[in-house]
Amino acid sequence: MSPSSTSASGSSGPSGTVERALRVALHTATDDALDTGASLLAADPASDAELARRGEELVAAAWRRGWQPADVVRIVRRELDEAHVRLVAGLIRAQAATDRPRGRRWASQLAQLDRLLRPDEPAARPARARTDRPGRSADRDRPDRPAGSDRTDRFSHATAVLELYRLLLRLPALETLDDPGEPGRAAPRGESRVLGRIRALLAKAEATGYPEEAEALSAKAQELMARHSVDEALLAAHAPSPDTPAACRIGVDAPYEQAKAVLLDAVATANHCRAVWNEPLGFSTVVGFEADLEAVELLYTSLLVQATTAMTKAEAAQRAGGRRRTKTFRQSFLAAYAHRVGARLAAAAETQVTQDLLPVLASREVAVAARLDGMFPETTTTRLRGVSDAAGWNEGAQAADRARMTARRPLE
């Protein structure tokens, strides 16, 4: 039975089964309620299409509450497991087939979902509307369900779906990010050649096994980032556009998420952006102009990879010397790394701006601050906790020095 032929009241048939299962399982947070709902769904294969439709409705409701695809995937991975991640990726992709266009950043997040759904295929596939074919089970079209699943598999699958729906139903409202279709917003541009070069340099810095080479590559990438930011600011000053500060969310994952949030804040500040950390939900919202946001994402990701690599090597050396305080060593290492990188980036920022550029950057900083205050009228300051390992601190500071950033060339 297709969704269009089911009863709107949900009193009988597949809609009735789904309605009863959701009413039992989603509004009572007990295992018994979950088992009861899953049993109802497992016993009625005809309810699968209606169950999927309800999931797409929950996804659409998440968008109305300010969530984006990457945010939903991140919270599902944080709270549940990879089976649920695949389920929500499929729901998001199905919902996107009937959703309105939402811009370049949204499309990029959908492309990441394609890799989750088809991990063996490097290229992303376009969205495809879900169809119901006579005589073919909806389970057979799902990447996480093998053909010919038996009743036990159906129960396990239904349990996972209901666990996912419980989470989606309880997602809190988030601050609304930019809508590319909003009046007064400049149309998003494709990635510039400069950002492509920056991305390539940072990829090489992450891949090399030679610290000196990583230093040189990271320094060159930061130099290009700084120059790119200046060029964008001057372009806006000489040819004003409707472009205004935007915002994006960047995951800050456990463990040692506090030190990672401090590192992201330092990178954001150095690149004329501002960051606000949401510890319970595991991300920071970064506000700034689009080119600067791209630079922050690139540099933070690269520095985190380099920090993790350096920390692993330093920890191995400490273990070889008989020390075993792994957790405190890592916490102190990353805290020192974030602190030192922040100090170096701040010092570099003071020397990279010429007098003629100060008014331009000042006006952009005012715009960023206004946007941040509008999104987050109340924020608090958090101090690093759990930093007690002197060896970890020293090793982290030295690793930050090796990831040093050079000063920007003066404007010609």
Is residue 24 pLDDT above 90, yes or no? yes
How far is 378 from 124, CA to CA, in rounded Å? 40
Q: Confidence band (pLDDT; 50, 70, 90) for 180?
A: very low
- 303-326 pLDDT tens trace: 888 888 888 888 777 777 666 667
Is residue 398 pLDDT above 80, yes or no? no
- 118-142 pLDDT tens trace: 654 333 333 333 333 333 333 433 4
Going from N- to C-terminal start, the domains of the chain cover: 14-119+150-170, 193-403
Is residue 410 classed exposed, middle or buried when 0-12, 13-18 and 19+ CB atoms within 10 A define those classes? exposed
Is residue 217 pLDDT above 80, yes or no? no
- 61-84 pLDDT tens trace: 999 999 999 999 999 999 999 999
Task: Please name which of 172, 168, 157, 171 lies closest in space to residue 34, comparing C-alpha atoms.
Answer: 157
Is residue 109 pLDDT above 50, yes or no? yes
Average pLDDT (22-36) is: 92
Residue 354's φ and ψ, nearest 5 degrees, are -85, 160
More confident residue, 407 or 119: 119
Percent of the chain whose pLDDT exceeds 70? 63
